[in-house]
Amino acid sequence: MKQKTALLLLHEIYGINQHMEHVIHTFSSSTIDVVCPNLLHRPIPFHYTEETEAYSYFIKHVGFQRGKQHIEDMLVELRNNYTYVGILGFSVGATLAWLCSEDCRIDFVIGCYGSRIRDYTNIVPTCPTLLLFPATETSFLVSTVIDNLQNKGHSLLNIKQLNGEHGFLDPFSAKYNEEAADQGYQMIHSFLQNITEK
């Protein structure tokens, strides 16, 4: 018997850390199985103090195109076993999720502060897609990216900007913003409910 939904969770540059375990716990239910592949293929995640090293490792050993291919390879099995298959990504995982939003085998995409989405604004989502952006990013103007995406008029794309910095959803990060996190998780739960209860 098919489970209802497979939620493919794509981690940040750090790997499967406490934050990802928290997200797995938050969204796992009798109707949702959270599947979190270890894209780094490292037994131990990077620490937040190793941000530069973690980013370099991700770019060198995974990268966006190889990461996307890995996800696509997983879709065959997931599609055979689940009614719905969706992606929830954080940071680089959100950019990977965004790159996969054109794949017709995916039912929905949720991306949280995917800063590198700014390099792939030509993507046209073919499934309901929710992007959550922070108020500010250190390396670019968030409003410019949002305007660029919204001006394309994608009917399946929903963009929300919340108060906080990159990482505001992560309770283990110094950038955690409780109010923005509560709002963000409420939006994600509502989005999931709309998709899976049709």
In the chain the first and final C-alpha atoms are separated, in Å, by 19
Average pLDDT, the chain: 95
Mean pLDDT score, 164-168: 96
User: CA separation (Å) from 113 to 53, 81, 97, 181?
Assistant: 20, 29, 11, 12
Tell me: the pLDDT tens digits for 130-145? 999 999 999 999 999 9
pLDDT at 2 over 70: no
Domain extents for the chain? 3-196
Average pLDDT, integer, range 59-74 = 96
pLDDT at 1: 46
pLDDT tens digits, residue range 18-33?
999 999 999 999 999 9
Specify the fold of 3-196. Rossmann fold (3.40.50)
* Percentage above 70 pLDDT, the chain: 98
pLDDT at residue 134, rounded to an integer: 98
Is residue 150 predicted with pLDDT exceeding 80?
yes
